[in-house]
Chain A
Amino acid sequence: MNDWQAVIGLEIHVQLNTRSKLFSGASTAYGAEPNTQASWVDVALPGTLPVPNIEAIRKAVTFGLAVGADVAAESIFARKNYFYPDSPKGYQISQYERPIVAGGTILARLDDGREITVQLTRAHLEEDAGKSVHDAFHAASGIDLNRAGTALIEVVSEPVMHSSAEAVAYMKAVHRLVRWLDICDGNLQEGSFRCDANVSVHQPGTPFGTRCEIKNVNSFRFVEKAIDYEIERQIRAIENGERIVQETRLYDAAANKTRTMRSKEDAEDYRYFPDPDLPPIRVTATEFDALRATLPELPDARRSRYIDAHGLTAYDANKLTEERSTSDYFEAVANALPGHSKLVANWVNGELAAALNEAQSAITASRIGAPALAGLLARIVDGTISGKIAKDVFAAMWAGEQSADAIIDARGLRQISDSGAIGQMLDDVLAQFPEQVAKYRAGDAKLFQFLVGQAMKATKGKANPTQVNELLRERLGVTG
């Protein structure tokens, strides 16, 4: 029996990169001393009240518009009631019956090039919980409420994925989108982007199996491994005649396995009800229009444009649209060099990417800005320097020297394109290597490249290579 099919749905917690929290003015900056970023509201002092952060609502709407969802003109905050020390009010303000975003789709591309379209159920606004600190005190746990109240959207997919590869591709697509939209910093280590995975298995044509939820996985790799483990565990259990019980499980990365956190019988009744402290969230048509107008061109649209209008390969287009900053950089350079997008893509994905990677630098902080790179590539395009020399110039620019033109002039790197001068130089080379010339003429074809190499060496690489080839052929009496 190996016709099992996994059914996977993800709930992704996307921490919104607002400066203050969803319902209080406290800062959301990561890494501060415990409880220094918790206001009276976050500590849930008696009498305090939540006031919605308009910026967070705008970011949620932006997400909805970007995934083509129905964005509610009126949605409702609800209280999810449960007792836990990191939940200072005894309830979490979330959305239940009327979320701000309903439906929508995400296009995800797998490593093998296959594309899947993942339907979203909803995305709702909610506040994050605080954190329990278990290792700071002897025989007691501490509570850090710095994170309590930070704005999130929880993006819930339909159970439409069938493998860990699909789930990870989808998670990466959401990750790319929320960073592209500048609504989340996407930092998985700091927990800005984390995921719960619902996994079940069944045989196609039969009803869905009982699902288990794997909580709080915060890396792409762990999601993949946790899902793979869980699929295998469920299949093994069923084939051993066991029944899968609905439960919440935790992924233990060290052991690479999931284990029971709580079963459905222990599941809490959250007693959701509309939060009476918060009027419905209303988004007017004017606000919709304003947000739609500021929506950036989305990565998939750019990718298609790069392939169709710029003639780039799918590989280049994918790489350039992984991050908006890379794509914006590419556009800035490509716009300065119409008709040479391929050259630009090669440089952005090649030389620049390598240099940034080595320097551990973001492209927005690149030592060579888009106008500077455009200045360099323009010299290749107009024949002033060869691509090979350009790499040296690039290195000089990266090291902090001036513009491409200044470096080319200062070092005398201008390409030699004077046929007379090149011819003269070739005559000297031929005179210098009579033996090799004779062997070539006797049929040893590979000595042609040796002579080209000597010519380039004689000009320190500055001779126009096309002309060198042409004139050398002429001199050696080769046609074609």
Chain B
Amino acid sequence: MSALTLAAQRAALSAGRCSRDLTEEALARAASTASLNALISCDAEGARAAAIGDGPLSGIPFAHKDLFCTRGLRTTCASKMLAEFVPPYDATIVERLTSAGAVSIGKTNMDEFAMGSSNENSAFGPVLNPWDTTRVPGGSSGGSAAIVAANVVAFATGSDTGGSVRQPAAFCGVTGFKPSYGRVSRYGMVAYASSLDQAGVIARSAADCADVLQAMAGHDPRDATSVDRTVDDYRAALDRGVRGLRIGIARELFSAGVSDAMQTTVHRALHELEAAGAILVEIDLPSLPLSIPAYYVIAPAEASSNLARYDGVRYGRRAAAVKGLHDLYSRSRAEGFGTEVKRRILTGTYVLSSGYYDAYYLRAQQVRRLIANDFARAFATVDLIAGPTTPDVAFKLGEKTADPLAMYAADINTVAVNLAGLPAMSVPAGFIGGLPAGLQLIGQAFDEASLFAAGHALQSRTDWHLAMAPGAVR
């Protein structure tokens, strides 16, 4: 079996296989790769019972990151806090993918509440990278990236607050797409950092991401930050090519922290785009180095407030035999949240506190504007911006868990995109020592189409995105 794409699945369907067959096969593949720990909940029953509509993704199995609310199916956010939480409603994107005909086989593992870059912060245990099971798949959408790389399903949903779709896609050798802020509804996506969170998709190819995003995108009156703006025809954009497209090579994305091998590998991929007709232009994003401190102030600040609702009163983990209200709060939260979540809640509470707000939160917002201005300036002369998605390939399990700052620092190439609300994509760009490397392309707000055009142009000339991981089902 070769790489699982939407085209391959559709071919199977038109060759006479029924959706039920595809679902059973996906469930079987999920079972055979269970050691990767990519799924928190497998919903065999729901998948078998799914009524297949007549949509563009009709009959195609996939999986949802376990922070999208699914009616009747537990949605854990990989947290003990919500281990038993069964939502009474579907997230908007869950509704949309269901009505497009896609069949969810379950919920993917992730870093708890999407806080993490290695999927080691899951109450359900880490996910293993199908390319090397001693390494992390990246995070926080590690389960989604791993399950696609393992050839279990053709696509999975993810969410990207600081790189959580792009970085695991890069680590697992698959394509990850993060839309512009406001392009996809956040209704029903459990919030981590509301001003940065955006639902995305992980699939084999840019073309497949385009089809899935087409079904997910669009205005939702239930999300006041979702934008009422026409969704481009992404499939049509795929064949636009890159001739004359100006791609900015941001010096700061190739900075000191990025390994030599990664620099070389990504440049090689960029030359493929150049060969396809793109024009490479050197640009600067001078404020980019400030994006890590700004992100790790703003995201925890919002998280500290967003996660205040998990108080043991109405749903979720509730400590037993408590002595009074304060005890109920503190023990439910102490028991329910993992270390990294607690660290970010404490950080966020601190930076919002009276006397510290100006020095941290307000300052971080100012930096955020500088970063957005840098991008705006750059986009006056280029159509897309490119660089490595990550400084290096997937690291070893446990390698950075003792040093949160080192873990945070590795997000340097992805977080600025969220701070500026831009669309971005990670596409496979080759291998370093047998491990995948990712090329990140960044677009102007709401110009997802150009990203799909560039991604597809690259994937039409290369086959890195179709390479099979050793841990994949063949």
State the A residues within 8 Å of B (CB).
Answer: 40, 43-52, 79, 81, 83, 85, 88-91, 143, 269, 271-273, 276-279
* B308 engages A81 (CB within 8 Å): yes
Within 8 A of A (CB), among B277-319: 301-302, 304-305, 307-309, 311, 313-315
Instruction: Report which of A43, A49, A79, A143 forms a contact with B222, defined as CB distance below 8 A.
Output: A49
Q: Please determine whether B87 and A271 come into contact, CB atoms closer than 8 angstroms.
A: no
Q: Which residues of A contact B194 (CB under 8 A)?
A: 276-277
* Given A81-B308, A90-B309; A276-B195 close (CB under 8 Å): yes
Chain B residues with CB below 8 A from A90, complex form:
305, 307-309, 311
Q: Bound state CA distance, A49 and B309, in angstroms?
A: 13
Whole-angstrom CA separation of A89 from B313 in the bound complex: 11
Known: A83-B308, A89-B308, A279-B224. A45 touches B315 (CB 8 A): yes
Q: Are A47 and B305 in contact (CB under 8 A)?
A: no
If A47-B191, A85-B311, A276-B193 are given as contacts, then 15 extra A-B residue pairs at C-beta distance below 8 Å, sorted by A number, are: A46-B82, A47-B188, A47-B189, A51-B221, A79-B305, A81-B304, A89-B308, A269-B354, A271-B353, A271-B357, A272-B352, A273-B305, A276-B194, A276-B302, A278-B224
Q: Is the CB of B313 within 8 A of A47?
A: no
**A45: chain B residues within 8 A (beta carbon):** 69, 87-89, 315
Q: Does B13 contact A (CB under 8 A)?
A: no
> Given A40, A46, A49, A79, which contacts B77 in the complex, CB threshold below 8 Å?
A46
B223 at the interface (CB under 8 A from A): yes
In contact, B87 and A47 (Cβ under 8 angstroms): yes
A-B contact pairs, 13 of them (CB 8 A): A40-B88, A45-B88, A46-B85, A46-B191, A47-B186, A49-B223, A51-B223, A83-B311, A85-B325, A90-B311, A271-B305, A273-B357, A279-B224
Residues on the B chain within 8 Å of A271, using CB: 304-305, 349, 352-354, 357
Does B372 lie at the interface of the complex (its beta carbon under 8 Å from any beta carbon of A)? no
- Specify the main secondary structure of chain B where it touches its partner: loop
From the candidates A46, A81, A269, A276, name the one contacting B190 in the complex (CB within 8 A). Answer: A46
Contact B309 A89 (CB under 8 A): yes
Measured between C-beta atoms, what is the minimum distance from A38 to chain B in Å?
A: 10
Residue of A nearest to B315 (CB): A45
The docked-state distance in angstroms from the alpha carbon of A307 to that of B354 is: 53
Q: Of all chain B residues, which has the CB nearest A143? A: B313
Interface: B91 (CB within 8 A): yes
Residue B361 is within 8 A (CB to CB) of chain A in the complex = yes
B234 lies within 8 A of chain A by Cβ:
no
Across-interface contacts of B75 in A (CB, < 8 A): 46-47
Asked whether B69 lies within 8 Å of A273 as measured between CB atoms, the reply is no
- Which chain A residues lie closer than 8 Å to B67 at the CB level? 47
- A50 & B314 in contact (Cβ 8 Å cutoff): no
| C-alpha gap A88/B325 in the complex (Å) | 14
Q: Would A44 and B69 count as touching, CB distance under 8 A?
A: no
A273 touches B301 (CB 8 A): yes
B187 at the interface (CB under 8 A from A): yes
Q: Assuming A46-B82, A49-B186, A83-B329, is B223 touching A269 (CB within 8 A)?
A: no
The verdict on B225 contacting chain A, using a C-beta distance below 8 Å, is yes
Taking the nearest CB of chain B, how far is it from the CB of A287, in angstroms? 17
Provide the bound-state CA to CA distance between A90 and B316, in Å.
14
Contact of A50 among B193, B224, B311 (CB under 8 A): B224
Q: Nearest Cβ distance between residue A266 and chain B, in whole angstroms? A: 13
Dominant secondary structure at the A interface? loop
The docked-state distance in angstroms from the alpha carbon of A81 to that of B89 is 26
Across the interface, A46 reaches (CB within 8 A) one of B221, B223, B305, B309, namely B309
> Is B308 a contact of A91 with CB atoms below 8 Å?
yes
Q: Inside 8 A of B87's CB, which chain A residues have their CB?
A: 45-47
Whether the Cβ atoms of B225 and A279 lie closer than 8 Å is yes
Q: Give 1 or 0 for each of B55-81: 1 = CB within 8 Å of chain A CB.
A: 000000000000111000001010000
Contact A44–B309 (Cβ < 8 Å): yes
Give the distance in Å from the alpha carbon of A234 to the alpha carbon of B93 in the complex: 59
Bound CA–CA A48/B194 (angstroms): 11
Contacts of B187 on A, CB cut-off 8 Å?
A: 47-49
Bound state CA distance, A51 and B91, in angstroms?
Answer: 15
Contact residues in A for B352 (Cβ distance below 8 Å): 81, 271-273
- Chain A residues with CB under 8 A of B193: 276
Contact status A43-B188, CB under 8 Å: no
Q: How far is the CB of B81 from chain A (nearest CB, A)?
A: 9
Of the residues A46, A50, A52, A79, contact of B69 by C-beta under 8 Å: A46
When distances are taken between beta carbons in the complex, the residues of chain A under 8 Å from B191 are 46-47, 277
Q: Smallest CB-CB separation from B226: which chain A residue?
A: A49
Q: How far is the CB of A42 from chain B (nearest CB, A)?
A: 10
Q: Which chain A residue lies CB-closest to B91?
A: A47
CB-CB < 8 A to A89: which residues of B?
A: 308-309
Query: Are A40 and B224 in contact, CB atoms less than 8 angstroms apart?
Result: no
Contact present for B357 and A88 (CB under 8 Å): no
Which chain B residues border A88 with CB–CB below 8 Å?
309, 313-314
Write out the residue numbers on chain B whose beta carbons fall within 8 Å of the beta carbon of A278: 224-225
**Highest count of chain A CB atoms <10 Å: which of B89, B186, B311:** B311
Contact (Cβ within 8 A) B314 A47: no
Please name all residues of chain B whose beta carbon is closer than 8 Å to the beta carbon of A277 when the two chains form the complex: 191, 194, 224-225
- Closest Cβ–Cβ distance, residue B291 to chain A (whole Å): 17
* Chain B CB within 10 A, most for which of A88, A271, A277: A271
The distance in angstroms between the C-alpha atoms of A349 and B468, with both chains bound, is 89
Which of B89, B224, B329 has a CB less than 8 Å from the CB of A52? B224
Shortest Cβ distance from A43 into B: residue: B314
B190 and chain A: residue at smallest CB distance: A46
CA distance A81 to B188 in the complex (A): 22
Q: Please, how many angstroms separate the alpha-carbon atoms of A43 and B314 in the complex?
A: 8
Which residue on chain A has the smallest CB distance to residue B194? A276
Chain A residues near B311 (CB-CB < 8 A): 83, 85, 90
Name the CB-closest residue of A to B326.
A83
Distance to closest chain B CB from A305 (angstroms):
43
Q: How far is the CA of A81 from the CA of B308 in the complex (A)?
A: 8
Nearest Cβ on chain A to B199's Cβ, whole angstroms: 11
Complex: A85 Cα to B311 Cα, angstroms: 8
- Mask for B335-372, Cβ within 8 A of A = 1, else 0? 00000000000000100111001000100000000000
The CA-CA distance from A89 to B352 in the complex, in Å, is 17
Contacts of A272 in B (CB 8 A): 352
Contact among B224, B315, B349 for A51, CB-based, below 8 A: B224
* CB atoms of A40 and B353 under 8 A apart: no
Specify which chain A residues have a CB less than 8 angstroms from the CB of B329 in the assembled complex.
83
Whole-angstrom distance between the Cβ of B72 and the nearest chain A Cβ: 14
Provide the residues of chain A in CB contact with B188, threshold 8 Å: 47-48
B330 vs chain A, min Cβ distance (A): 10
Q: Is the CB of A44 within 8 A of B224?
A: no
Across-interface contacts of B354 in A (CB, < 8 A): 269, 271
**Which B residue's beta carbon lies closest to that of A132?**
B325
A89: min CB distance to chain B, Å: 5
Cα distance, A48 to B77, chains bound together (Å): 15
A91 to B188, CA, bound (A): 19
Smallest CB–CB gap between B410 and chain A, Å?
Answer: 25
Task: Find chain B residues with CB under 8 A from A46 CB.
Answer: 69, 75, 77, 82, 85, 87, 190-191, 309
B473 CB → nearest A CB, Å: 32
CA distance A279 to B227 in the complex (A): 11
* Distance (whole angstroms) from the CB of B315 to the closest CB of chain A: 7
Contacts of B308 in A (CB 8 A): 81, 83, 89-91
User: Which of A47, A50, A90, A273: most chain B CB closer than 10 A?
Assistant: A47
A277 vs B354: C-alpha distance when bound (angstroms): 22
Pick the residue among B225, B315, B325, B353 that contacts A269 (CB under 8 A).
B353
Hey, which chain B residues are within 8 Å of A85, CB to CB?
Answer: 311, 313, 325
Among B383-441, those with CB < 8 Å from A are: none
Q: Across the interface, which residues of B come within 8 angstroms of A51, CB to CB? A: 221-224
Residue of A nearest to B352 (CB): A271
CA distance A143 to B361 in the complex (A): 33
Question: Chain B's nearest CB lies how many Å from the CB of A146?
Answer: 14
In the complex, what residue of chain A is closest to B312 when comparing beta carbons? A85
